[in-house]
Copies of this chain bind each other. A is one copy, B any other.
Amino acid sequence: MSSPLDNSYIRHLNGSENGHHNGIETSHSPSPSSSSRFGDDEIGIVNMEIYFPPSYVDQSELEAFDGASTGKYTIGLGQTKMGFCTDIEDVNSLCLTAVSRLIAKSGVSYADIGRLEVGTETLLDKSKSVKTVLMRLFKESGNTDVEGVTCTNACYGGTAALFNCVAWAVESAAYDGRYAVAVCADIAVYARGNARPTGGAGAVAMLIGRRPALVLDRGLRGTHVEDVYDFYKPEMASEYPTVDGKLTIQCYLRALDRCYARYCAKREASEGGTVDLNSFDAVLFHTPFCKLVQKSLGRLRLNDFVRTPKEERLARFPGLEGFLNVELESSYFDRDVEKAFMTDSRELFEAKTKPSLLIATNVGNMYTPSLYGGLVSFICGAPTLDSLRGRRVGLFSYGSGLVASFFSLRFSDDDSPTSPLAALKRSLGDVQTRLAARNKVTPAEFDRVMRERELSHHAAPYEPKADPADLFPGTWYLVGIDEKHRRQYEQATTSYANPQVNGHS
């Protein structure tokens, strides 16, 4: 197996470093990044958009309403606010909103898109894909030549869509060369009880192509797949999942161990040296709840510890001498190990992971978009473009059942005002304003909406009761479902009280 490094080396030998390598004529000039390993083959995220619903419930108020102990949701889970959808939004409308906003602000036309791929586990139909519903956005452009369908594997569907879009963009560059769009969206709701505060809702759309702001490190993915029933949705008529809480935490952590080990081995083979948490400027995780992410960073620190030869451990990890004999497989629920490595990695967490939790703590678990909401948070939170330039980010995507991958992205080295990176940062400049502009509802009202969703889920015909005037302007929403289950959508055009958030639509 040749390593990715070989590519540029062999291209160099072939005298085809720029312009015509791979037999592909490229229209773009080479990236200014001299550290690029793929040259014009660089494919990744050109632009991003996030959508979250305009209403939320406060987690400390929800604790009181649920009769839970104070801090159970806010400190125990690390959650602050939870976004939720009324009956006027469904997974189709979430995707319509995210994709239409992405295209509008990216300065591309629907005719420039050659692939559109959806990741979701909020299925409204066993046959018709969300992707086909999104084609109404393309109608005016006349472009119907758009590959891609819907990818499903719990919270991993968005990552599958992203990887598929990147592979498509690489493979079809020679004869197509258009952009791809990966969009992921879910409405995460739980029956009353312990899991309810871990809900959320939202969508992330990503424009994929050449000259990206964020390059995908192809060839460095570590994937782990197992056949388990940790979290699944066999009750087809219900919105609620079936969850084995303890098993799913164990599966998440085991998959993290395996994926990280594979990623590190591939990167060490490719780049040399030792790969550990210091090899990343940021580490982002799929986030069922924020506390699990802090534990997960501690878990990676434990992985680094275990991967270090015993004789070197104490020099590199002072104060952890009590854990020299810890094994990964037997420590998933060892509280002493968990606490020691969380404490040991606290500074790393503050620096490399906490900035990615803005959306996760304020919107909740969005399922497929969760990890990409983390990426949006990280970009929004960066004080300057310079603090993103050239930075390398590790990402862990987990989907129950299970499929998981650890992979990495690199921010472009070009942070000039007209660079893709500058455009991406500007493009996400309104996220904090939009978060702040949301409407807080009482836990009682939230509970009423949940009950209404239960009663109306899959009902046909159905006319939504919520008011489109409550949505952010430009939001797509469900107008009605006819007696044959056919869904109709429109775009909210009403003006919004806070004109600051009306930038993109």
Contacts and interface: CB of A to CB of B under 8 A. Distances in A.
B135 A163 contact: no
A237 interface: yes
A367 to B, nearest CB: 9
Contacts of A10: 20, 23, 25
A218 interface: yes
Contact of A219 (B176, B219, B400, B485): B176
Contact of A166 (B166, B171, B241): B171
Q: Please tell me how many copies of the chain the complex holds.
A: 2
Interface in A1-17: 1-4, 6-11, 14-16
A133 to B, nearest CB: 5
Given A123-B126, A128-B401, A149-B403, A2 B14 contact: no
Contacts of A163: 147
B403 A131 contact: yes
A72 interface: no
B236 A136 contact: no
A352 B375 CA distance: 52
B401 A127 contact: yes
Interface string A161-179: 0011011101110111100
A458 interface: yes
Contacts of A174: 2, 4, 6-7, 219
A218 B172 CA distance: 8
A136 B402 CA distance: 12
A152 B154 contact: no
Given A123-B123, A225-B131, A233-B126, A405 B219 contact: no
Contacts of A402: 132
A485 B234 contact: yes
Interface in A304-321: none
A121 interface: yes
A455 B258 CA distance: 42
| Interface hub of A134, A138, A163 (most chain B Cβ within 10 A) | A163
A26 to B, nearest CB: 10
Contacts of A345: none
A221 B148 CA distance: 13
A402 to B, nearest CB: 6
B25 A2 contact: yes
Contacts of A125: 232-234, 236
Contacts of A138: 225
A19 to B, nearest CB: 10
A282 interface: no
Given A149-B156, A177-B1, A227 B171 contact: no
A81 to B, nearest CB: 25
Interface in A228-286: 228-229, 231-237, 241-242, 244, 258, 262, 266, 270
B1 A136 contact: no
A300 B244 CA distance: 53
Interface string A128-146: 1101111110100000111
Contact of A144 (B23, B147, B258): B258
A428 interface: no
Contacts of A135: 225-227
B241 A127 contact: yes
Interface of A: 1-4, 6-11, 14-16, 20-25, 121-129, 131-136, 138, 144-154, 156-157, 160, 163-164, 166-168, 170-172, 174-177, 218-219, 221-229, 231-237, 241-242, 244, 258, 262, 266, 270, 399-403, 405, 458, 460, 484-486
7 contacts: A133-B227, A135-B225, A150-B153, A167-B167, A167-B168, A175-B270, A236-B237
Given A6-B25, A131-B153, A164-B167, 18 more contacts: A7-B23, A14-B15, A21-B23, A125-B233, A125-B234, A126-B236, A127-B152, A127-B231, A127-B400, A128-B401, A132-B226, A133-B227, A147-B403, A149-B156, A149-B403, A167-B172, A176-B219, A229-B485
